[in-house]
Amino acid sequence: VQLQASGGGLVQPGGSLRLSCAASGSPLEDYTIGWFRQAPGKEREWVSCIVSYLGSTYFAESVKGRITISRDNARNTVALQMYSLSPEDTGVYYCAADKYLNGPLCGRGDLYDSWGQGTLVTVSS
């Protein structure tokens, strides 16, 4: 599956942003989709994921309560809606897909097969 992340941009602290991960080649419903981010000078960290079929969702503690993840099967996209953004949320956001990853392991970036190219989110006044 080929992935393309989009929706990044410049947003003020406290603002909201909606990222989208679009897929081509296969139905996203068949895949567990994870969102990861990498801030400048830092290692990549897991943000959230939605598991294939049943759609169970998981969130990193750092974003819990501020982020939702959802899948639109008709559009073959997964959205990451972010609220109450702070400068610490700045980074390049990537979506990733894997067909066999279950919920408890969906935070493991090394287990994903396919990655999108990333979209930059900058939170600054």
Structure tokens that stand for 41 in this block: 């000078």
Q: Give one word for 41, left, alpha or beta, with left for phi > 0 and alpha for psi -120 to 50.
A: left
Residue 25 has pLDDT above 90, yes or no: no
Please state, for a pLDDT cut of 90, what percent of the chain lies above it: 88
In this prediction, residue 50 carries a pLDDT of 96
Torsion of CA 85, 86, 87, 93, to 10 degrees: -30
- Model confidence over 72-115: pLDDT tens digits? 999 999 999 999 999 999 999 999 999 988 878 999 999 999 99
| Percent of the chain surpassing pLDDT 70 | 100
Residues 6+ apart with CB under 8 A from 110: none
Annotate the chain with DSSP letters as a single string: -EEEEE--EEE-TT--EEEEEEEESS-GGGSEEEEEEE-TTS--EEEEEE-TTT--EEE-TTTTTTEEEEEETTTTEEEEEE-S--GGG-EEEEEEEESS--GGGTT-GGG-SEE---EEEEE--
pLDDT in the model for residue 53: 84
Which band of pLDDT confidence, cut at 50, 70 and 90, is reported for residue 54? confident
What sign does the dihedral 99-100-104-106 (CA atoms) show?
A: negative
Q: Is 44 a residue whose pLDDT tops 90?
A: yes
User: Which band of pLDDT confidence, cut at 50, 70 and 90, is reported for residue 121?
Assistant: very high
